[in-house]
Structure 1
Amino acid sequence: MLQSKMKSDRAMLLAHVTPFYPHHLADFPKQLSHFLASSACSLPSSLRCHIVQSLIFLANRKMVDIGDILALFMELQTMGDGALRKLAFSHVVHSIRQMNQKHKNKNRPLQNIFFSLLQQEDEAKSKRSHITLCELHRGRVWFDDRTADAICTACFHSSSRIMIDALSFLLDYEKIQDNDDSDASSSEDDLSPQVPRAVLCKEAVYKAHHKGTVSSKKKKQANIQHAIPSML
C-alpha cells in the first residue's frame, strides 16, 4: 500500500515538473503511456487511477496529444474499473470538445479510431466507442454525417446490447431535431403528411436474439431489420 502511494506521488510529481524540464523529461509522457498500456491490468485500482491522472495532467498542459493516447484511454475503459472508466471517458470527451473549439481539422483521424473500435467484435470496446460517439453527437461536438452514419451502423452490430443501445439512441434522435428546429418550423412542414414511424421496443430486440427456436429468432431479426429504415 505504501509502495503504491510512493509510485503515485512520484508519477504526479514528475508530471508537474515536466513542463519546466522539457529536455530532461522529454520522454516521460511517452514512458507513462507505455507503462499504462503494458501494466495497467496488473496495477492496484488506486495506483492505476493516479497514474492516469498524471497523464491527464500532462495532456492538459499540451505535453501529450489526444490522438496519441486515445486508443489507450478507450482500452482503459474496458478494464471493469468504474472509477477508471469514468476518469478516462470524461477526459476523452473533454479533450475532443476543447480541441473542436480551435482545430476541427483533427477530427477525422480521431473519428477513424472510434469507427474502427465500433466495428470490432469485442463488445466492451465497441460499446465504449458507441457511448462516446453518442455523447459527442448529442453534445453537438461531432454533429456531422460521418458520426451519425457510424452510430446507425451499430444497429446491425452482432452484439444485441449494442444494437439495443443504438436503437434507443435513434428513437430519441427526433427530440434533438425538435429542440433545434422548434422556432424555425415552417407552415410547409405543418402541411406535409405525417409518415407513421415504426416503434421498436427493447423487449422485441431481446426476444429476437434470446427467445425461441433458431428459425423463429431469424424471423424476428429479419422483421427488426425491415423496421429499422422506417425509424431513421
Structure 2
Amino acid sequence: MHDGHRERLRSRFLKYGLDSFEEHEALELLLFFALPRRDTNALAHELLDRFGSLRNVFDADTADLARIKGIGENAAVLIKLQSELARKYWLADLAEQTTLSSIQSAIDYVSLLFRGKTREEFYVVCLDPHFRIRHTDRLSHGTATEAPVYVRHIMETVIRTGSEKILLAHNHPGGSAYPSDKDISITQQIASAMDAVSVSLLDHIIIGEKDAFSFSEKLLTLNNYPKDAARTAQYSGRVMQDLPQRLPPDRIGE
C-alpha cells in the first residue's frame, strides 16, 4: 500500500509540481527520502500539528524535529537541509540584484539571514561604492543569547572582498532588537577600525523576534544610505562620538 501511494505522489509531483499538493503531502513526499519504510503521511501530520505550519516545520531547530517520535536525526537533518538550501538559493538570487539604498531595504535583506534561526549570529554585508551587495559573510554562530565577534575577522573579510562599505547585522532570537551595552561597544570598536582604513560602516542592524533596530536610523552611524541621506545632513563626522547620549538612558543595556 505504501509503495503504491508513494509512487502516485512522486508521479503527481513530476507531472504537476508542488502547486497541487497540500502542506502535509509536500512534507510527506520529502520524508520519503529519509524514511523509506515508515508511514510518512502520519508523520507529516504529526509535524504540522506540533509546529503549526509547514513554514514553522522548516524553521524549527533540528534537535526539536528529531524529538518527534519516528522522525529521528536523518529526517530532521533532511528537513533542515531543504530549508537552508532554499534560503541560500533565494539570498544568492536576491544579492545579485539588490542595492541597499535605504534603511528599510537593508532590514528586508538581513531579516532573511535570520529567518528560522534560534541562535545568535553575526553577519557582515560587503557593498560596492554604489551600495550594491558584493558579499555576505557569517562571522559567528553563538548561543541563544550571544555570538562572539572579532574586529580582525571583519577586517579580513573587507580586505578579501576589497569592499569600501560594510553593513553589520545580528539577531536577538526571542527578544527585543534594542541594543545591549555590548552591542554598542562592539559597534564603536568596529566603526573606529573601519574608519582607520577608510571603509564606511553604513549601519548595524539588529533583528529581534518582532522588531528591528538600525543604528543609522537612530543617528548612531553617519554614513548614510542614498535615500536617507537628508535625514542626517545636520551631523558631521564618520565615527560615533556621543553614542550613549543619543540613546535613552533607561533603555541602554536592555
TM-score, normalised to structure 2, is 0.33
Higher normalized contact order (CA 8 Å, seq sep 6+, divided by chain length) = 2
Considering fraction of residues, name the structure with more helix: 1
Considering fraction of residues, name the structure with more strand: 2
